Structures are given as structure tokens and as C-alpha cells.
Amino acid sequence: MTRLQNIMHRILHHPNTVVVTLVSTMVMIMLSYNTIIRYGVSWPVILTILKIYPLAVLFIYCLRTYVTLPLVLKLHDYFPHHFNQVIPRHVSIPFFVITGNVSVMMVILTETHRKLYPYFVSGFVGNWAKTFFVAVPVFFFIVRPTIDFIFNNLKMKYPRLD
């Protein structure tokens, strides 16, 4: 087996690969969505999205890894009965992580676009609602099933090397 194939197997079967792929895909979709609904589609807008994208992925990955996910896991540990009986963990954990990430990002977006939103609270609530009610269905019905399907097929085609 060549060195490149060995590297590809390690990347494919690394536990963080799916997480990074999910975060990267969601950030691109939501960054594009939030920018395009405010400024329309044009080359300068697309170039701005591409410039901001790497920093946004890094920020959201760190926010998810070090803030929202640990808080959500602690919340699930503190109220295990409520979450396990009402909503399964594979749904509630991403749901609350998305809620936290959207909240933080909308505070930043609303503050940095002060000309568009002169009243912070109403601008934040509007931005949050527009983003949250797009992010949740996009994640659960499009992004996660697609990424899971792709990675499951790749893992079957290229099984783990031990």
C-alpha cells in the first residue's frame, strides 16, 4: 500500500474526521445563507464568504469543542432523566449545541452589522430566529444524513487497516 493510501485510511477512520466535516459543511452553508440573505449574490459577496470561511470554521469548531458541547454534556449529566425520556441523546446534544453556537454567532453578527440592525435586541432575535430555524433542519435532514451516508460507504469501501 502506498503512503498516500495509508494516510487516507488514517484520516477516514479518525474519530474527528466526521466531526470536522460536519462543522465545516454547516459553517459553509450557514455562512453563505446569512451573508446572501443580507447582501445578495455577487462576486464580492462570494469572495468575502471565502475569506471569512476558514476563520469561521476554526471559531465554531473551538466554540463547539470547548464551550457548547461540554455545557450540553454537563446539562445532560445533570438532568439525565429529562433528556433520555423526552429526546434521545443523538438528537438533543446536536440540537442544544446548534442552539448555543447560533446564539453566540448571532450576537457577533448583530453587533458587527450595526448599520443593518440599529436596535440590538430586535436585530438579535430576528437574526437568531432566521438562522436557528434554518440550521436545525439543514443539520438533521440534509447535512448529517449525507455525511453519514458518504462516510459509511467510504468506510465499507476502505475498511480499517489493523
- Its pTM stands at 0.88
Q: What are phi and psi of 107, to 5 degrees?
A: -65, -45
**CA dist., res. 23 & res. 56, Å (int):** 10
pLDDT at 135 (0 to 100) = 96
Q: What is the dihedral of CA 68, 53, 22, 36, to 10 degrees?
A: 100
Q: What is the mean pLDDT of each run of 10 residues along the chain (162 residues)?
A: 78 90 96 91 94 95 96 90 80 94 93 83 92 96 96 86 68
Q: Which letter does DSSP use for residue 116 in this model?
A: T
Element (H, E) at 156: helix 144-157
Alpha-carbon distance of 160 to 41, in angstroms, equals 42
Annotated domain spans of the chain: 3-157
Task: Give the pLDDT of residue 162.
Answer: 65
Q: What is the pLDDT of residue 68?
A: 97
pLDDT of residue 1: 60
Residue 17: CB partners within 8 Å, gap ≥ 6? 11, 151
Q: CA-CA distance, 149 to 81, in Å (whole number)?
A: 31
- Residue length of the chain: 162
DSSP 3-33: HHHHHHHHHHH-HHHHHHHHHHHHHHHHHHH
Residue 87 per-residue DSSP state: S
